[in-house]
Amino acid sequence: MTPRGAGPGLGSLRVNLMLWLFGPVVAILGFSLWLSYASATRQATLIMNRQILASARMIAEQTRFRDGAVRVVVPPAALELFASDSHDEISYAVFDQDGVLIAGFPGLNLPDPMPATSDAVFLPTRFRTEEMNAVVVRQSVITPDGTTPIRVMVGETLRARDDMVRSLWLRGFLEQAALVVAAALSIWIGITRELRPLLRLRRAVLDKPADRFEPFDAAEVQTEIRPLVQALNDHMARLAAYLDRQRRFLDSTAHQMRTPLAVMKTQVGMARRGRDATETLAVLAEIDLSLTAMSRLTSQLLTLGRVEHERAQLAVEKVDLAEVTRDVASHVAPLALDAGVDLAVEAEEPCQIAASAILLREAVANLVDNAVAHAGKGATATLTVTKEAGMGVLTVSDTGAGVAPADRARLFQRFQRGTSAKGGGSGLGLAIVAEIAEMFAGQAELVAPPGGKGFAVRLSLPLV
């Protein structure tokens, strides 16, 4: 049995349940109705057979040999047995040993061949146009020379029997129909009741304001539906966390941008009040620096936006960490030269990892930028790519001043900078690196610089 409406969608739960529950009930009741019809027919036939057998015996007993012939006297009682409302027709016939009719109605025919049994034989027969149920009994009639066998046949039309079957069966039918209706009703009520919590839940979901994430009460639905509510709640919790991250990010971004903007406003004011061109030019140069910092901040924010976007898409590809590292180093080389930082790359072997090429580039660039920006004149920055225990590892270390030990714990958080950090940084670089690493099941951490002095970050990502 296929529930209706299984085509587009899954159809109505109510209708499906109704079909699954009610269908078998109807089938079982139909079968039991058929059984009770058969049993009613058996019972009525049994009663009828008893009656025709009794009258056949009565007629047989009243058959005597008198005046040289077999004489049949039909006692009225023999046929009165059938007094019924259905006006059945009764016929009888008495045959001699050769099957010749001695008395009764011509038209009742002995079965041919006659069953060998000496007992009563019941058989269906026809009398004129009507179907009958008949019985044939044997009897020995005493004659002067001994005995002669005769056969008495009595038949009755089936009206009374059919009436009886009908009335026996009708009662069963009515009882069972009442059962079917009661079952349908209780199934319908049951389904309606059981669906109510689900509909309430639907109402609650519909009514929930967009900014509310309180979980739905799983105790208000049946155990089977609880996992669904749980999943819904879990999803809402993730959504709430995501929105919270976004909001805090927006807040801190606005906060971060306010400071350089305020500085620039002051600088512009100074430039306007400048007494001579040299002073104005000096202030303009400061404004230029602030603008550089601002545009750096903006591009870092865009990168973070891209990280969030990619996090949603998470398209992972095969990227060569060594190649990306060499590429970034060659791009940054002129800046490193300007800053007086010596850049060295140790990444000969290809090192294929699973990540996004754009984001990996971004992470590496942030680490190299930091070395150039923070290590200081005369320092050496080394980029080393190695493979360790299923991970591709890039270590960016420099021989600069490093950071105060107290700062180390918070450098990977957004907008966090070292206490002695110089230049127009945003404090987002290492946070971006950490988020990208985490996104691709990798890790970014501060490690001890090889020479004991300076700064080193280790970025590891799974090899493919």
| Residues forming the site for Mg ion (CB under 5 A) | 370, 425, 429
Q: Which of 345, 373, 366, 331 is nearest to 437 (CA)?
A: 366
- Segment 217-225 long-range contacts (CB within 8 Å, at least 24 positions apart): 221/197, 222/194, 222/197, 225/197, 225/198, 225/201
Q: Which does 398 bind (CB under 5 to 8 A by kind): Mg ion, ligand ADP, none?
A: ligand ADP
* Smaller CB separation from Mg ion, 164 or 368: 368
* Smaller CB separation from Mg ion, 125 or 370: 370
Are the beta carbons of 340 and 372 closer than 8 angstroms? Answer: no
C-alpha 145/C-alpha 297 separation (Å) is 139
Per CB under 6 A, the list member of 180, 191, 421, 464 interacting with ligand ADP is: 421
Per CB under 6 A, the list member of 133, 356, 395, 426 interacting with ligand ADP is: 426
Q: Which of 89, 82, 75, 70 is nearest to 128 (CA)?
A: 89
| In the complex, minimum distance from the CB of residue 434 to Mg ion, in angstroms, rounded to a whole number | 12
Question: Which residues, other chains included, contact 4 with Cβ-Cβ below 8 Å and sequence gap of 6+?
Answer: 11, 15, 16, 19
Beta-carbon-side half-sphere exposure of residue 79 (alpha carbons within 13 Å): 15
Ranges within 311-370 binding ligand ADP (CB under 6 A)? 366, 370
How would you classify the pairing of strands 352-355 and 101-104? unpaired
C-alpha 220/C-alpha 151 separation (Å) is 81
Cβ density class 138-158: b for 16+ within 10 Å, e for less? bbebeeeeeeeebbbbbbbbb
* Smaller CB separation from ligand ADP, 103 or 375: 375
Quick note: the x/- pattern for ligand ADP over 384-403, rule CB under 6 A, is --------------x-x-xx
Structure tokens at 463: 């090899």
Per CB under 6 A, the list member of 343, 364, 375, 459 interacting with ligand ADP is: 375
Per CB under 6 A, the list member of 371, 385, 436, 461 interacting with ligand ADP is: 371
Are the beta carbons of 321 and 406 closer than 8 angstroms? Answer: no
Taking CB under 6 A as the binding criterion, the range among 241-249, 280-288, 414-422, 436-444 that sits at the site for ligand ADP is 414-422
Residue 39, CA distances (Å) to 34, 35, 102, 383 in order? 9, 6, 38, 96
Contacts with ligand ADP: how many residues (CB under 6 A)? 22
| In the complex, minimum distance from the CB of residue 250 to Mg ion, in angstroms, rounded to a whole number | 21
Quick note: the x/- pattern for ligand ADP over 70-109, rule CB under 6 A, is ----------------------------------------
Q: Which does 455 bind (CB under 5 to 8 A by kind): Mg ion, ligand ADP, none?
A: ligand ADP
Q: Is 429 in the site for ligand ADP (CB under 6 A)?
A: yes
How would you classify the pairing of strands 130-143 and 146-157? antiparallel
Ranges within 433-462 binding ligand ADP (CB under 6 A)? 455
| In the complex, minimum distance from the CB of residue 340 to ligand ADP, in angstroms, rounded to a whole number | 14
Q: Is 425 in the site for ligand ADP (CB under 6 A)?
A: yes
Are the beta carbons of 28 and 167 closer than 8 angstroms? Answer: no
Taking CB under 6 A as the binding criterion, the range among 21-29, 40-48, 158-166, 420-428 that sits at the site for ligand ADP is 420-428
Per CB under 6 A, residues contacting ligand ADP are 366, 370-371, 373-375, 398, 400, 402-403, 411, 417-418, 421, 425-431, 455
